[in-house]
Structure 1
Amino acid sequence: MGPRLKPKYLADVPTYRSKSLLLALSAAAAISPLTVPGAQAAPVRQAASAPQDAPARQAAPTPQDALAWTPCPRPDLGGPATQECATLTVPVDHANPAGPQLSLAVSRVRSEDPAKRRGALLVLAGGPGGSGVQRLTQRGTKLRDRLGDAYDLVALDPRGAGGSTRATCRLPSADRHLTALRSWPAPGGNIDANIERSRRTAALCAENGGPVLRSLSTANQVRDMDLFRRALGERKLSAWGTSYGAYAAAVYAQKYPQHTDRWVLDSVADPDPAHLARTWMRNTGQAVEDAFPAFAAWAADPARETDGLAPRLAQHPALVRPLVLALAARLDRAPKESTTPGTPLTGNRLRQALQNALYGQANHPALARLIAAASSTDPEVRPVLTPDIAGPVPDADAATTIGVICNDVRWPEGRGTVAAHRRAVLADRARYPLTAGFPANITPCSFWKWAPADEPARITSSGPSNILVVQNRRDPSTPYFGALKMREALGDRARLVSVNTTGHGSYLGTGNACGDARVTAFLAGGVRPGSDVSC
């Protein structure tokens, strides 16, 4: 029999925003990428003949008319009626522009008033692995309402993502659940299974990934972005990058400062080039601790007794944390059968659901219902798993995220690394119980078969002063203290808008009128604060 919770608590599970599979750095929608008509995945293919003496890292010119735009509106998703899609061809290896090619899905919503148009605004999704085409579909109408006809709104699916050429590792489905991809330790902190799975994943990616997987990196995404700019016929781009997309935007501004106009970095991470995703992962423990009180206050609010969204979990916010920790420990010992056959609710699935739900208040009701069902002593009540934890992630999505973070920077490896992770996990579990040691755990990158093809970019203060950073103060994925590192690195090139709210993704995401107005004023009118401001 199904759950016997009161009917008002059995509303449909809200759509979850997409997270990076290992790092939860994106803020798009749903685990599986949206496929937009006219933006289909394509295989790698051999390029037509091109000059063989092209200089290294100089891709062949891409003429503007190479983009054959066709209508691809998605009114069912609230997308703009005038959205168009096309395919951009780029080299697998930018050092060999005449070599094999891959296809990128691209999209645009054109300005309808040439007199008001000032350029193109590139919308960058999070990830690694988020679909820019999907994000434009979801946010294009809101952007047009805010910005009018100041821009053609444009986006691309990075190589490996969405409708672009995909890669594969051929991982078994059991290794593609988020609780496996994200290296949650076993109850008590043992990481033997994580070590074995990480070795297996790295080996399968090396065996099956081929040149496409090897090419997945921030450096190549940035090169692809510049080819897109050239194909659009634009001398400069403006940009709105969120989460990992904000990091990619920062790297573009470092590499191609002459081609940047108005640049917005939304929910950005620490750009330390020596660590990158290693730092992003380690920061998760504190980030979740900072964001959890907002969920606790919501779950203990007396309004839960009358609004029909979810059961009230406790009489006071301070009681929610011990309730969740005790429940996770109980599920570690005795997982509870869920409504998903063969997939019980474990302590780590609950912890993963918690972290995902902290991305925004829209996700809180489903988490509260999950906690209430898991806490029930009625044997007929079974938890309803939210979609993000109910099944495996598609192999291509897993391959892209793993590929980018492992290809971007060298990770510690060797026997000493395993021992160091064992110690770090135990310490992290004690310091951040809500994440139970996952942020310090080992990943496939410690056994990766390829060295980075490019040195990670060092973000500096050299370049035009045309960057606006917008950051929520309590972000469960890209914490505020990490964004301050990006702000420090950019120096006078940037201004920071600090938004006093909780959640991941600030602009047009949290409903903070002050923060939204600051970003809109910058993009629409070029009004950037003279100094850092708080909202």
Structure 2
Amino acid sequence: MRILGSRTSGFTTAALSLPVLATTLLALPAPATAAATPRPDTAVRWENCPGTGLDPRQECATLAVPLDHAEPGGPRITLAISRIRTENPEARRGTLLLIPGGPGGSSINGPSTTGKKLAQSVRDAYDIVGFDPRGVGRSTPVGCGLSHDDLALVKIRSWPAPDGGIEENTATARRLADACATHGGDVLRSISTRNEARDIDRVRQALGERKLSAWGVSYGTYAGAVYAQMFPHRTDRWVMDSSGDPDPKRVARGWLANYQTGVEDAFPDFAAWAAEPGNPDRLAATPGEVRPMFLALAARLDRTPIPWPGANPEELNGNVLRQTLLDSLYSKGRFPALARLITAAGAGSQLPAANTPPDEAMQNTVAVSGATICNDVDAWPDTNPAAYERDIAKSRKRYPLTAGMPVNISLCAFWHDSPRERPVRITPDGGPSNVLMIQNRRDPSTPLVGALKMRAAFGDRARLVTVDSVGHGAYRANGNACGDEAVTDFLLTGERPARDTSC
């Protein structure tokens, strides 16, 4: 879960702050409020998918769903869905739905991308189905009409000033909330995890399935958990990869706060890698030297930023470096780029080219992510700056790598009233025992401490496989062969470990 940017297991995930890049980057039309003409829910016509580089077998369709599920005869919006049918119809046992992360992520191209990573036996057993959730991408889209400057991750993520002050953060949060209220429309106000679960059930019905199997990643685990609580007897084999704490009193507030723990959990892996002899991007002679080096560089950049053309903002300051660290801990494959940035900044040499997502994609993912996070929680803390500054000061002292960002004020503090329902409480007696959780031990975004809360909430409905790996996303990604085998066996046989286990 996150505010912007990670892609794990072939479909977009997010780590928990606000958005993630949608898999398909489209120019967004003005936010719509509903489809003009209602259509039967089951009227799905499969066609060739737009875009390049996709498996030619992938089909796409649109599905009409109620804007408000409490008024099924009212206005409709559309969901974009996709699929690749089983590669061996005689072995087919059902549909595996890819539930994307974010909030604001997409799995519309997941059948082509993620599908290639799945074992052949899984591709034989299932139709692989992806979708753009409500408000995302090729579904009826939303946007908040934000300026380019306000689409910077260090503004969306609400990093405090170098001295811990939040005056600028407060003004930005208010401006973002006001923009979403002005431009978001009815679709933005309808976005919530409860409604995503209801939309998923409409997808199930349109596919003609009595039950669904699913693989949810990051925020997708929470959406999957909510579906399993609301529609328990429509679930078949339910995989939850990289879970957050489902505490219904906090929901995304808790996910955001857990960045403190997650980054601290994952950083030692980067430090060990950055001190390995023979590493061409080696930063230090010992792992213990890497942390003070990073903190000193961030503090120096707080005082004296370095121009960084093409980035947003166009400078490398301390918070941009900290944000880059957070993003880079999602996968060991990102460690070299982070090390090169640290080396260049430390030496005062030319910085690597910035990898800045297009504004069009950011507009969509920020809007969906913000709407989900803010609409899901009954009430966010008030706007008293003294309370936030106290929490930030404690966080900065205990968790200096994240500098107070996870407990800072956000646009949700100023979110305008919208129809809300109470968050779903995940319970041990809410459905069948058919959930398999998989979790990296050192996850920067959804740390193990949060996943253990999800495991406890499910009780005997779930089993947990903990993988001795770093990164966000475990199955067929940052995990290991032992964890991959456990999930694959479950999808094929329905068998889980008799008790929680570690790989």
Structure 2 counterpart of 1:336, from 306, 311, 335 = 306
Within 5 A, what are the aligned runs for 1:158-307?
158-305=133-280
The match for 1:484 is 452
Residue 353 (1) aligns with residue 348 (2): no
CA contact (8 A) 2:19 2:104 kept: no
Determine helix, strand or coil for the equivalent of 1:301. Answer: coil
Residue 505 (1) aligns with residue 484 (2): no
Structure 1 pair 526–25 and aligned structure 2 pair: CA distance change class (3 A): farther
* Deviation at residue 385 of structure 1 after TM alignment: 4.9
* Deviation at residue 312 of structure 1 after TM alignment: 1.1
CA contact (8 A) 1:474 1:500 kept: yes
The match for 1:54 is none
The match for 1:88 is 63
Determine helix, strand or coil for the equivalent of 1:115. Answer: helix
* Deviation at residue 44 of structure 1 after TM alignment: 4.2
Q: Between 442-451 and 407-416, report the one with greater CA deviation.
A: 407-416
The match for 1:100 is 75
Instruction: Write the deviation string for residues 92-141 of structure 1: whole angstroms up to 9, x where unpaired.
Output: 11112222211111000101333211111101110001001133332012
Residue 465 (1) aligns with residue 433 (2): yes
Instruction: Write the deviation string for residues 444-491 of structure 1: whole angstroms up to 9, x where unpaired.
Output: 101111255211000001110100010001000000010000000101
Displaced runs of 4 or more, over 3 A: 14-22, 39-49, 388-393, 413-416
Residue 23 (1) aligns with residue 23 (2): no
The match for 2:382 is 414
Structure 1 pair 24–42 and aligned structure 2 pair: CA distance change class (3 A): closer
CA contact (8 A) 2:18 2:103 kept: no
The match for 1:7 is none
Q: Between 452-461 and 490-499, report the one with greater CA deviation.
A: 452-461
Instruction: Write the deviation string for residues 54-79 of structure 1: whole angstroms up to 9, x where unpaired.
Output: xxxxxx9622xx11111238673xx4
Letter in 2 for 1:491: G
Residue 382 (1) aligns with residue 329 (2): no
Gapped regions of structure 2 (runs ≥ 5): none
* Deviation at residue 338 of structure 1 after TM alignment: 2.0
CA contact (8 A) 2:46 2:60 kept: yes
Letter in 1 for 2:23: P
* Deviation at residue 148 of structure 1 after TM alignment: 3.6
The match for 1:308 is none
CA contact (8 A) 2:6 2:13 kept: no
The match for 2:397 is 430
Residue 326 (1) aligns with residue 303 (2): no
CA distance in 1 between counterparts of 2:410 and 2:183 reads 18
Letter in 2 for 1:316: T
* Deviation at residue 511 of structure 1 after TM alignment: 4.6
CA contact (8 A) 1:349 1:389 kept: no
CA contact (8 A) 1:471 1:506 kept: yes
Structure 1 pair 192–15 and aligned structure 2 pair: CA distance change class (3 A): closer
* Deviation at residue 525 of structure 1 after TM alignment: 1.6
Structure 1 pair 35–348 and aligned structure 2 pair: CA distance change class (3 A): closer
Structure 1 counterpart of 2:484, from 509, 516, 519 = 516
CA distance in 2 between counterparts of 1:174 and 1:40 reads 20
CA distance in 2 between counterparts of 1:389 and 1:103 reads 25
CA distance in 2 between counterparts of 1:386 and 1:167 reads 27
Letter in 1 for 2:259: T
* Deviation at residue 510 of structure 1 after TM alignment: 1.6
CA distance in 1 between counterparts of 2:360 and 2:347 reads 26
CA distance in 1 between counterparts of 2:19 and 2:480 reads 21
Q: Between 119-128 and 166-175, report the one with greater CA deviation.
A: 166-175
Determine helix, strand or coil for the equivalent of 1:120. Answer: strand
Structure 1 pair 391–100 and aligned structure 2 pair: CA distance change class (3 A): closer
Structure 1 pair 70–326 and aligned structure 2 pair: CA distance change class (3 A): same
Residue 365 (1) aligns with residue 336 (2): yes
CA contact (8 A) 1:178 1:393 kept: no
CA contact (8 A) 2:31 2:185 kept: no
Q: What value does the CA root-mean-square deviation take over the aligned residues?
A: 2.5
CA contact (8 A) 2:15 2:446 kept: no
CA contact (8 A) 1:75 1:81 kept: no
CA distance in 2 between counterparts of 1:457 and 1:332 reads 41
The match for 1:141 is 116
CA contact (8 A) 2:19 2:366 kept: no
Structure 1 pair 249–415 and aligned structure 2 pair: CA distance change class (3 A): closer
Residue 67 (1) aligns with residue 44 (2): yes
CA distance in 1 between counterparts of 2:286 and 2:51 reads 43
CA distance in 1 between counterparts of 2:341 and 2:357 reads 11
CA contact (8 A) 1:425 1:440 kept: yes
Residue 118 (1) aligns with residue 118 (2): no
CA distance in 1 between counterparts of 2:357 and 2:405 reads 16
Structure 1 pair 16–47 and aligned structure 2 pair: CA distance change class (3 A): closer
Percent identical: 50
CA distance in 1 between counterparts of 2:169 and 2:292 reads 27
Letter in 1 for 2:323: Q
Structure 1 pair 15–126 and aligned structure 2 pair: CA distance change class (3 A): closer
* Deviation at residue 171 of structure 1 after TM alignment: 1.4
Letter in 1 for 2:44: L
Structure 1 counterpart of 2:370, from 398, 402, 405 = 402
CA contact (8 A) 1:198 1:447 kept: yes
CA distance in 2 between counterparts of 1:233 and 1:16 reads 30
Letter in 2 for 1:365: P
Determine helix, strand or coil for the equivalent of 2:270. Answer: helix
CA contact (8 A) 1:240 1:265 kept: yes
Determine helix, strand or coil for the equivalent of 2:458. Answer: helix
CA contact (8 A) 1:293 1:317 kept: yes
CA contact (8 A) 1:313 1:372 kept: yes
Determine helix, strand or coil for the equivalent of 1:471. Answer: strand
Letter in 2 for 1:368: A
The match for 2:104 is 129
Instruction: Write the deviation string for residues 333-377 of structure 1: whole angstroms up to 9, x where unpaired.
Output: 000112437701011000000000000011111111111110014
Structure 1 pair 314–452 and aligned structure 2 pair: CA distance change class (3 A): farther
